[in-house]
Amino acid sequence: AAGVIQSPRHLIKEKRETATLKCYPIPRHDTVYWYQQGPGQDPQFLISFYEKMQSDKGSIPDRFSAQQFSDYHSELNMSSLELGDSALYFCASSSSSDEGAPFQPQHFGDGTRLSIL
């Protein structure tokens, strides 16, 4: 079965640079979530999109932005990168119920490992 695809798998950047992470949800999934996971920590919710509109916001820094496109893929844009941004970034997707509201569960990709030098 098709899974959530994230690219790139690994990314190395220097401080103050920018980065773009991409997420391709499972086909027919209309909701995308972004998480940040530090070493030995649990995933921290950053932001989510439902039908191309931002649906909820968590601990996402102002330096980060994200969007969901017409084909439902999503991109997380990160600017002025800091050493503390080094982490695993996961994307998850889910499908909505017939009532039009997101229906859990979320299915995760294998993440992008971002390293800031």
Partner 1 sequence: GENVEQHPSTLSVQEGDSAVIKCTYSDSASNYFPWYKQELGKGPQLIIDIRSNVGEKKDQRIAVTLNKTAKHFSLHITETQPEDSAVYFCAASLDTGGFKTIFGAGTRLFVKA
Query: Residues interacting with partner 1, by CB under 8 A?
Result: 4, 31, 33, 41-45, 48, 50, 55-56, 58, 90, 92, 97, 99, 101-111
Q: For the CB of residue 96, give the shortest distance to partner 1 in the complex, in Å.
A: 9
- What is the CB-side half-sphere exposure of residue 32 using CA atoms within 13 A? 32
How far from the centroid of its chain's Cα atoms is residue 116's Cα? 18
Distance CA 12, CA 41 (A): 21
Distance CA 38, CA 98 (A): 35
Q: For the CB of residue 73, give the shortest distance to partner 1 in the complex, in Å.
A: 17
Q: For the CB of residue 91, give the shortest distance to partner 1 in the complex, in Å.
A: 8
Residue 79 or 95 with smaller CB distance to partner 1: 95
Residue 22 or 108 with smaller CB distance to partner 1: 108
Residue with tokens 């991109």: 75
Determine the Cα angle at 31 with ends 83 and 79, to 5°: 25
Residue 18 or 95 with smaller CB distance to partner 1: 95
